[in-house]
Structure 1
């Protein structure tokens, strides 16, 4: 579903090139879940943006659902995101002028895979039943993140990319949202790559890797024991 082969990425700075990713090899199979851990600034979000085609590699290859991302032009990468990927970020990115129901079904409608029964199921499972006509500003942060998760999963994407999806929530809301996310990812049949700094958030996923100094490796034993 997702493969990185010897991916390098750097950014220009006044002090010279800053190497962020240094020879990344990564494989994620269909239906599998993987947590990517690392300190702030370690390149986790950069890796996720490369997977989504929001940025391009310097050298190396990223393949999503059999398509080489770097060989696609921007319109083709946008179609890949629309048709194959679901994206969930810390910021909810809801459309203020759309109500809950329309926000949740927006991505599925763009992908021409709107399924009213599945959307109703998502709304029920996310605890949003009866709120379909409300607008984002009328909801709590936890409720807004639930809509963002439902929107990403409404088209049943082959791959869900999540960047610290509970980072802006309090501990109780974060735990509830994470449980819902993992349960609904399983129902949708999606693979999941989730960036997180938290061993507790990473614990329920199938695998966990740590990004350090631009390279991927296993979590250390102390982190594993906390999981």
Structure 2
């Protein structure tokens, strides 16, 4: 589903280019879940943005659903994101003028992939069915993050990319949101790449890799 081969990325600074990723190799199969851990500033979010085609590497190849992102112009990459990817961030990025139901259906509608029965199932399983007519400002932080997850999954993505999806929540809400996320990912059959700094959050996923000094490695036992 996702493959990175010798991916390198650096950024310009007044002192010269700062290397962030130094030859990353990564494979993620359909239906597999992978936690990406590392210290703040280690490049985890950079890797996620590259995987989503939101940024381009200095060198190396990234393949998403068997398509080389470097060979696609930005409109094609945007279409691939719209149809094959779900994105969940630490910030909820909900549309304040849309109610819960319309926020959840937004990405699927934009992609022309809305499935009303799946949207209703998501609302119910996320505990949001009775709040369908409310607006984001009327929801708790945990409810807003559940809605953001539902929006990403409503399109039935092949790959879900999640950047610290429980980072803004208290421990109890984080555990609840994570359990719902993993159950819905499993049922939908999509692959999951999740960035987290928390070993507790990473533990339920199929695999875990640590990013340090621009390279990936297995975390210590």
TM bucket (normalised to shorter chain) is over 0.9
Q: Deviations over 1:100-149 (max 9, x none)?
A: 00000001111111111111100000011110110001111110000000
Instruction: State the SS of the aligned residue for 1:94.
Output: coil
Instruction: State the SS of the aligned residue for 1:130.
Output: helix
For the residues of structure 2 that align with 1:81 and 1:124, how far apart are their CA atoms?
26
For the residues of structure 1 that align with 2:76 and 2:95, how far apart are their CA atoms?
24
For the residues of structure 2 that align with 1:32 and 1:120, how far apart are their CA atoms?
25
Question: Which structure 2 residues correspond to residues 121-200 of structure 1 after superposition, within 5 A?
Answer: 121-200=121-200
Aligned length: 221
TM-score by length of 2: 0.99
Instruction: State the SS of the aligned residue for 1:216.
Output: strand
For the residues of structure 2 that align with 1:141 and 1:14, how far apart are their CA atoms?
39
Report what 2:203 is aligned to.
Answer: 203
Report what 1:11 is aligned to.
Answer: 11
Q: Deviations over 1:63-118 (max 9, x none)?
A: 00011111111111110100100000000000111000000000111111111111
For the residues of structure 1 that align with 2:194 and 2:28, how far apart are their CA atoms?
11
For the residues of structure 1 that align with 2:16 and 2:168, how far apart are their CA atoms?
33
- Unaligned runs of 5+ residues in structure 2 are none
TM-score by length of 1: 0.97
Q: Deviations over 1:24-69 (max 9, x none)?
A: 0000000000000000000000000000000001000000001111
- Unaligned runs of 5+ residues in structure 1 are 222-227
Report what 1:224 is aligned to.
Answer: none
Instruction: State the SS of the aligned residue for 1:90.
Output: coil
Instruction: State the SS of the aligned residue for 2:205.
Output: coil
Report what 2:88 is aligned to.
Answer: 88
For the residues of structure 2 that align with 1:14 and 1:198, how far apart are their CA atoms?
33
For the residues of structure 1 that align with 2:131 and 2:212, how far apart are their CA atoms?
42
Question: How much is the aligned-residue C-alpha RMSD, in angstroms?
Answer: 0.5
For the residues of structure 2 that align with 1:8 and 1:175, how far apart are their CA atoms?
34
